[in-house]
């Protein structure tokens, strides 16, 4: 550029005017050179030669909160001009706000410039990096650039990436609570609350950089409700509350000293005790295992009364005319507190026959006649006293032995402990028959022996005998015939092998059955609690608004969408739970019912869109060892396949979860979920529970009932109803075990029964269900009973274990610790709402999604747009994008997808997952794109209301 141009530019500066933005762009790199040719006075005002601009303040990183613009500021000296450059482009001069003042210390001019950056500017920028700005300052000798400052839109998502989970830890154990805050800009800071108070770190609590809360050694005071709070400049979010329980397992105190023997003489019992107080169980900690009382036999030495030995020879006659003899109390000597001998140890007698020299004179003192007679009277009196003493001694010994025998039967005599087991005498037709109990023993038909080891029966007759109370009494003469190994054995009762109060029954009963094979006979396992099973049915009248029909406490529900029924039309709909036998599926087929059969109607029901049926099942489907099908029962009572869950179908849709299945149906009828095993690793879930109640016919009796049912709410409902009717108490939290399809049976045994305090009826310590009974139980409650009897009313506590195990499979332990004399029956916590009676809801109350939002979502996603925002994307974000051909055939695919989502989330009622999915879908659109006259921000604000 020529000298004239430079002078023109210099004239502008000398005149006090700022260069325009366009002029700077045109001049480019020549601007510093032009400015350098200014007058010497200007150079002195802006600094000595050789000084480049120095920034006193540079722009800093900033965040835009909501829609509020932010200010970026620069300050430099000496500086003729300062301009902002954002994202590689100069910011127009009109957008700068500048001011200038002189530094009083140096006399140099300081220039300060500010610009505003709006949310719209940042959103409109689509670059590979964040929105950035820097300052460029000019002086006579050149330019200086400031640092880059980034501008980002601040936000904080609603949902935590990982919420802390409640836990139970033992005392001095480690507490670890994980927390991953929501995504946000800037990154959210995390703090922990305990019981709504900020958590103070006292050296024991460690909050790591990854936001986890770690307590290395838990104290009782660490129990509480913990909340993770994430916050940044935009908002503050709270996680779900995690409840931490620090429990203390019980510990036994030291044994007390042994008590004195309870008998004064002979064999007795002494005992010692301990309490579960070192420490006592706290916050649900386990009760101490083992016995609280120990008893031991003791022998007290009986007292021995002294007895006189033989008299010694008479001594020589003394000068006093007397002789003496003595005896000792040594035959026997008195021992252990026995009495001393009665009588004198020294006897004297006149040794002259009445003639004695006294005072040197001979006395003629003849013995009187009465002396001899008095000696005879003394002799007879002594004999009479001896006879009376012997009689009293015999009576005392008899009474003592009788008292000893009564006590010994209860505690001491070992036969009293084994008397609850029947005597067996076996006769076998083949040695080592595996179907017989102790089959290798030689038959002995004359002598009855008692065997106290647990005996497991492998046939339904044994379990029936143990389930029926009338057959739990002493067993009659029983004959069992086998199939694979032909053999038989006889069981004879003996009156001395039963606990007190039980009388043997010698009535002969012969029963034929099959061991190890399911057979139809009179004796089958007890599979129902009451003669007539409760009817599970729900009815309601629905109209155009739709609604929900629920059978309480069964896991079965029906959702009728809004608009499914025509306007001005109502239908009385019903839903019934039926009990089907797996044998009706197919003859000798491998399929079994994994859910109850559910019928909904009426048959002529006319709906414009499919209904959503939710059914609970018991299949372990995570491992993929099943082929699961939805079947429908036809008019000829045969079951027809509707669809396979793993395949796609245009007529039906199945959403299979770990414990439930949601089905979209269009035709009323009876439906069930069935499974076909693919290998022997396949498994179904069983729910195990133990109940107890006193024996009404025996004040000392107590009955434990163990149930093994399919793990569905409906199956356990029958157990709950039956136990409530008979006054049973739930003694342990129900547990779930996996029952494998490996053809092995299920064994239920009772263990650790205090034998000194309780006796158990014979043949009930171990009971067994065949594989077919459990595998094809079809919700029927399989039950076995253990009848116990305490030896005295003072034994009020029962502590034992129930082991439920599959041969070559899983095992679960049910711990029983209860008082058998409780007056108040505890409420059995079978369900969250055990008294739920609400069976239907109609209209908007039945749905989680408001009708207006539902209609807007359907209208938005039923038609595709350029951004791919359609019902397929909605299904993908809601994780129900399998079998999309079914939704494609519907008039409103989005509405059907939302109905399925409603059925899937009917329990939680949490709309956050739907709101998050819609928020993610909203990112697909451009910031300026509008749909149906509504901007993206307006749509997001409406959808956000779902959360």
pLDDT in tens, 593-602: 999 999 999 9
Decide: 801 and 751 in contact? Cβ < 8 Å.
yes
Structure tokens at 534: 């409760």
Write phi, then psi, for 930 (nearest 5 degrees): -125, 155
End-to-end alpha carbon distance in the chain: 64
pLDDT beyond 70 at 207: no
pLDDT of residue 836: 59
453-471 burial, b at 16+ Cβ within 10 Å, e below that, comes to ebbbbbbbbbbbbbbeeeb
pLDDT beyond 70 at 459: no
Decide: 96 and 83 in contact? Cβ < 8 Å.
yes
The residue with tokens 């064994």 is 747
Cα–Cα distances in angstroms (integers) from residue 288 to residues 414, 689, 759, 795, 817, in the given order:
27, 21, 22, 18, 10
pLDDT of residue 487: 32
Q: What is the mean pLDDT of residues 186-209?
A: 78
Distance CA 496, CA 476 (A): 15
62-71, 89-98, 417-426: least confident range: 417-426
175: closest CA among 199, 198, 153, 154? 199
pLDDT beyond 90 at 480: no
Distance CA 420, CA 422 (A): 7
pLDDT of residue 350: 84
Structure tokens at 805: 């195990």
The torsion angle over the Cα atoms of residues 760, 762, 763 and 767, rounded to 10 degrees, is -20
Q: What is the mean pLDDT of residues 805-814?
A: 92
852: closest CA among 942, 947, 941? 942
Query: Can the peptide bond before residue 78 be classed as cis, meaning omega within 30 degrees of 0?
Result: yes
Bridge partners for 746 per DSSP: 769, 806
pLDDT of residue 830: 45
If you ran DSSP here, which 8-state letter would residue 314 be given?
A: P
pLDDT in tens, 888-932: 888 899 999 999 999 988 877 678 888 888 888 877 544 433 333
pLDDT of residue 491: 34
Decide: 598 and 671 in contact? Cβ < 8 Å.
yes
Name the more confident of 319 and 809: 809
pLDDT of residue 562: 92
State the pLDDT confidence band at 33, using cuts at 50, 70 and 90.
very low
Q: Which helix (H) or strand (E) holds 784?
A: strand 782-790
pLDDT beyond 90 at 869: no
651: closest CA among 661, 637, 636, 641? 641
pLDDT beyond 60 at 36: no
Q: What is the mean pLDDT of residues 510-531?
A: 34
Name the more confident of 431 and 392: 392
Decide: 503 and 474 in contact? Cβ < 8 Å.
yes
Q: Provide the mean pLDDT of the chain.
A: 75
232-236, 390-394, 774-778, 834-838: least confident range: 834-838
Write phi, then psi, for 467 (nearest 5 degrees): -85, -40
Structure tokens at 576: 């019934």
If you ran DSSP here, which 8-state letter would residue 92 be given?
A: P
Distance CA 452, CA 419 (A): 9
Percent of the chain with pLDDT over 90: 32
Query: Can the peptide bond before residue 870 be classed as cis, meaning omega within 30 degrees of 0?
Result: no
pLDDT beyond 50 at 528: no
H-state helical runs in 428-470: 460-467
671: closest CA among 718, 644, 639, 646? 639
Decide: 265 and 294 in contact? Cβ < 8 Å.
no
Name the more confident of 581 and 193: 193
Distance CA 118, CA 135 (A): 18
Q: Report the number of secondary-structure helices (H) and strands (E) in the chain.
A: 16, 55
Distance CA 546, CA 459 (A): 51
The residue with tokens 């409530």 is 724
Q: Which helix (H) or strand (E) holds 885?
A: helix 884-888
Distance CA 900, CA 610 (A): 10
pLDDT in tens, 289-309: 888 888 888 888 888 889 999
What are the structural domains of the chain?
Answer: 54-153 (2.60.40.10), 155-247 (2.60.40.10), 251-300 (2.20.100.10), 537-679+847-905 (2.60.220.30), 683-819 (2.60.40.2660)
Decide: 544 and 569 in contact? Cβ < 8 Å.
yes
Q: What is the mean pLDDT of residues 515-519?
A: 32
Question: Residue 406: is it exposed, middle or buried by C-beta count within 10 angstroms (0-12/13-18/19+)?
Answer: exposed
Distance CA 613, CA 573 (A): 13
State the pLDDT confidence band at 42, using cuts at 50, 70 and 90.
very low
The rounded Cα 28 to chain-centroid distance in angstroms is: 75
Structure tokens at 321: 């005319």
**What count of other Cβ atoms lies within 10 Å of the Cβ of residue 127?**
9
Q: What is the mean pLDDT of residues 124-135?
A: 89
State the pLDDT confidence band at 721, using cuts at 50, 70 and 90.
confident
172-186, 318-332, 445-459, 643-657: least confident range: 445-459
Bridge partners for 674 per DSSP: 593, 629
Helix axes 851-861, 893-904, angle to 10 degrees: 130
H-state helical runs in 453-573: 460-467
H-state helical runs in 408-479: 414-418, 460-467
Handedness of CA 275, 278, 283, 285 (dihedral sign): negative
The residue with tokens 């190890």 is 516
State the pLDDT confidence band at 401, using cuts at 50, 70 and 90.
low
727: Cβ–Cβ under 8 A, 6 or more apart, which residues?
A: 693, 825
Q: What is the mean pLDDT of residues 774-778?
A: 80
pLDDT of residue 832: 38
**DSSP secondary structure string for all residues of 129-171:** S-EEEEEEEEETTEEEE---EEEEEEEE-SS-SB----EEEET
Please tell me whether residue 425 adopts helix, strand or coil conformation.
strand
Distance CA 222, CA 220 (A): 5
State the pLDDT confidence band at 237, using cuts at 50, 70 and 90.
very high
Query: Can the peptide bond before residue 279 be classed as cis, meaning omega within 30 degrees of 0?
Result: yes
User: How long a stretch of residues is the chain?
Assistant: 947
**DSSP secondary structure string for all residues of 350-403:** ESSTTEEEETTEEEE-PPPTHHHHHHHHHHHHHHHHHHHHHHHHHHHHHHHHHH
Q: What is the mean pLDDT of residues 379-384?
A: 73
Decide: 706 and 804 in contact? Cβ < 8 Å.
yes
Write phi, then psi, for 726 (nearest 5 degrees): -100, 5
pLDDT of residue 579: 72
């Amino acid at each position: 550029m020529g000298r004239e141009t430079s002078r023109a530019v210099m004239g502008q500066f000398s005149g006090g005017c700022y260069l325009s933005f366009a002029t700077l762009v045109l001049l480019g790199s020549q601007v510093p050179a032009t400015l350098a040719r200014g007058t010497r006075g200007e150079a002195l005002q802006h600094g000595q030669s050789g000084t480049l601009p120095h920034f006193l303040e540079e722009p800093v990183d900033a965040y835009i909160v909501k829609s509020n613009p932010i200010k970026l500021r620069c300050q430099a000296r000496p500086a003729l001009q300062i301009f902002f450059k954002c994202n590689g482009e100069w910011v127009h001069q009109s957008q700068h706000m500048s001011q200038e003042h002189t530094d009083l210390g140096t006399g140099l001019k300081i220039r300060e410039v500010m610009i505003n950056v709006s949310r719209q500017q940042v959103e409109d920028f689509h670059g590979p990096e964040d929105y950035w700005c820097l300052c460029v300052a000019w002086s006579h000798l050149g330019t200086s650039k400031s640092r880059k400052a980034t501008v980002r839109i601040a936000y904080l998502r609603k949902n935590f990436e990982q919420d802390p989970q409640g836990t139970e830890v033992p005392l001095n154990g480690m507490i670890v609570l994980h927390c991953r805050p929501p995504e946000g800009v800037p990154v959210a800071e995390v703090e922990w609350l305990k019981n709504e108070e900020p958590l103070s770190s006292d050296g024991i609590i460690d909050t790591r950089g990854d936001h986890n809360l770690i307590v290395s050694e838990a104290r009782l005071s660490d129990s509480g409700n913990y909340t993770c709070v994430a916050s940044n400049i935009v908002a503050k979010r709270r996680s779900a509350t995690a409840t931490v329980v620090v429990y203390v397992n019980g510990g036994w105190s030291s044994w007390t000293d042994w008590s004195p023997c309870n008998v004064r003489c002979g064999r007795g019992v002494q005992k010692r005790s301990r309490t579960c107080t070192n420490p006592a169980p706290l916050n649900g900690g386990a009760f101490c295992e083992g016995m609280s009382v120990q008893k031991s036999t003791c022998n007290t030495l009986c007292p021995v009364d002294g007895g006189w030995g033989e008299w010694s020879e008479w001594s020589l006659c003394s000068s006093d005319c007397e002789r003496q003899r003595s005896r000792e109390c040594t035959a026997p000597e008195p021992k252990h507190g026995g009495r001393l001998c009665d009588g004198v140890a020294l006897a004297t007698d006149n040794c002259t026959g009445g003639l004695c020299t006294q005072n040197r004179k001979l006395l003629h003192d003849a013995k009187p006649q009465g002396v001899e007679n008095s000696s005879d009277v003394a002799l007879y009196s002594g004999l009479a006293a001896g006879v009376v003493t012997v009689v009293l001694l015999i009576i005392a010994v008899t009474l003592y032995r009788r008292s000893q025998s009564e006590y010994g039967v209860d505690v001491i005599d070992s036969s009293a402990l084994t008397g609850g087991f029947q005597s067996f005498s076996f006769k076998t037709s083949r040695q080592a028959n595996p179907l017989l109990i102790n089959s290798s023993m030689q038959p002995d038909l004359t002598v009855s022996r008692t065997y106290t080891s647990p005996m497991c029966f492998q046939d339904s007759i044994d379990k029936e005998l143990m389930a029926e109370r009338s057959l739990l009494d002493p067993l009659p003469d029983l004959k069992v015939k086998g199939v694979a190994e032909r053999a038989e054995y006889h069981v004879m009762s003996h009156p001395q092998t039963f606990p007190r109060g039980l009388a043997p029954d010698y009535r002969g009963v012969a029963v034929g059955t099959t061991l190890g094979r399911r057979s139809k006979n009179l004796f089958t396992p007890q599979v129902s609690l009451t003669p007539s099973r409760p009817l599970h049915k729900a009815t309601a009248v629905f109209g155009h608004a739709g609604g929900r029909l629920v059978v309480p406490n069964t896991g079965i529900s029906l959702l009728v969408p809004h608009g499914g029924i025509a306007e001005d039309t109502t239908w009385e709909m019903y839903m019934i739970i039926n009990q089907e036998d797996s044998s009706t599926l197919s003859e000798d087929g491998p399929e079994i019912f994994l859910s109850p059969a559910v019928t909904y109607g009426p048959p002529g029901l006319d709906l414009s869109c499919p209904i959503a049926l939710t059914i609970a099942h018991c299949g372990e489907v995570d491992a993929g060892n099943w082929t699961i099908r939805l079947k429908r029962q036809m008019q000829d009572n045969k079951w027809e396949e509707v669809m396979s869950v793993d395949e796609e179908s245009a007529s039906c849709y199945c959403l299979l979860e770990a414990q439930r299945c949601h089905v979209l149906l269009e035709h009323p009828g009876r439906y069930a979920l069935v499974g076909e095993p693919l290998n022997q690793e396949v498994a179904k879930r069983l729910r195990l529970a133990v109940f107890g109640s006193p024996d009404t016919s025996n004040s000392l009796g107590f009955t434990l009932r163990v149930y093994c049912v399919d793990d569905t709410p409906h199956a356990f409902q029958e157990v709950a109803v039956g136990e409530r009717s008979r006054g049973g108490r739930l003694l342990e939290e129900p547990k779930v075990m996996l029952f494998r399809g490996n053809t092995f049976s299920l064994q239920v045994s009772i263990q650790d029964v205090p034998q000194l305090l309780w006796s158990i009826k014979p043949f009930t310590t171990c009971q067994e269900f065949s594989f077919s009974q459990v595998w094809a139980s079809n919700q029927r409650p399989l039950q076995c009973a253990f009848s116990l009897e305490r030896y005295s009313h003072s034994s009020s506590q029962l502590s034992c274990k129930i082991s439920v195990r599959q041969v070559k499979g899983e095992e679960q332990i049910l711990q029983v610790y209860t008082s058998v004399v409780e007056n108040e029956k505890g409420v059995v916590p079978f369900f969250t709402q055990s008294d739920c009676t609400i069976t239907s809801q109609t209209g908007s109350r039945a749905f989680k999604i408001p009708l207006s939002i539902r209609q807007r979502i359907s209208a938005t996603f039923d038609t595709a747009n350029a951004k791919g925002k359609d019902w397929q994307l909605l299904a993908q974000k809601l994780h129900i994008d399998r079998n999309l051909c079914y939704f494609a055939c519907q008039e409103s695919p989005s509405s059907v997808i939302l109905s399925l989502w409603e059925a899937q989330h009917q329990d939680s009622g949490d709309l956050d997952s739907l709101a998050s999915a819609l928020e993610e879908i909203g990112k697909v659109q451009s910031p300026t794109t509008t749909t149906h006259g509504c901007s993206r921000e307006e749509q997001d604000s409406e959808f956000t209301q779902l959360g």
